[in-house]
């Protein structure tokens, strides 16, 4: 009878977090184009910020990319006096008013389509997919006529309802794929 001796257990080698030498060569060309791309992205942002601190006379008289001599806040004052708070509130109302019902309705429809066994539910999924084939630009004139006939012109509801209608097909498609991946036990 022979006995085998197991090799001694050794601790795994410790890895130091010191900087390791770079293997191969550096990609100088990629780095150069990365910096060029960063300049392309940053330049418009810089231009907008610098321009916002200039008055109108300095904007037309000086170099557009030069920093302003004495920075002024007149542009910000004019924007605040023009009522940007109301415009921001309108944006918040339209966003919340469109997103909440859109997600709620789409989730309920997606759950019924994925977990249901009816032919009608499978057909409704096809109808939602067909909704993706209708371009929003093709419905602008009929949508305008409908909104003016129901006297919703110049109201926030005239924005919210079309956003919901045009968002439902894509949201149902995305949520159907999500719900299909969730096990049935989690829903129980």
d(CA 78, CA 51): 14
Question: Does pLDDT of 170 surpass 80?
Answer: yes
* pLDDT tens digits, 57-96: 777 787 878 888 888 898 899 999 999 999 999 999 999 9
Domain regions of the chain by residue span:
29-81, 84-187
Average pLDDT over residues 18-43: 85
User: What pLDDT score was predicted for residue 167?
Assistant: 94
Residue 36, both tokens: 């060029």
d(CA 139, CA 162): 10
How many Å from the N-terminal Cα to the C-terminal Cα in the chain? 59
Name the residue among 160, 152, 155 with its Cα closest to residue 102: 160
pLDDT category of residue 12 using cuts at 50, 70 and 90: low
pLDDT category of residue 5 using cuts at 50, 70 and 90: low
Look up the pTM and report it.
0.67
């Amino acid at each position: 009878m022979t006995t085998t001796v197991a090799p001694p257990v050794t601790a795994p080698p410790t890895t130091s977090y010191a900087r390791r030498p770079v293997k191969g060569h550096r990609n100088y060309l990629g780095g150069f184009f990365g910096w060029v791309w960063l300049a392309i992205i940053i330049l418009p942002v810089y231009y907008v910020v610098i321009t916002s601190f200039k008055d109108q006379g300095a904007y037309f008289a000086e170099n557009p990319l030069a920093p302003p001599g004495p920075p002024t806040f007149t542009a910000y004052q004019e924007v605040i006096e023009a009522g940007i708070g109301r415009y921001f509130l309108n944006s918040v109302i339209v966003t919340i008013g469109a997103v909440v019902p859109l997600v709620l309705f789409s989730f309920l429809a997606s759950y019924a389509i994925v977990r249901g066994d009816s032919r009608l539910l499978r057909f409704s999924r096809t109808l939602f997919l067909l909704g993706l084939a209708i371009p929003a630009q093709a419905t602008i004139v009929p949508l305008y006529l409908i909104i003016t006939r129901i006297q919703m012109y110049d109201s926030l509801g005239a924005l919210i309802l079309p956003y919901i209608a045009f968002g439902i097909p894509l949201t149902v498609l995305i949520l159907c794929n999500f719900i299909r991946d969730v096990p049935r036990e989690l829903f129980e």
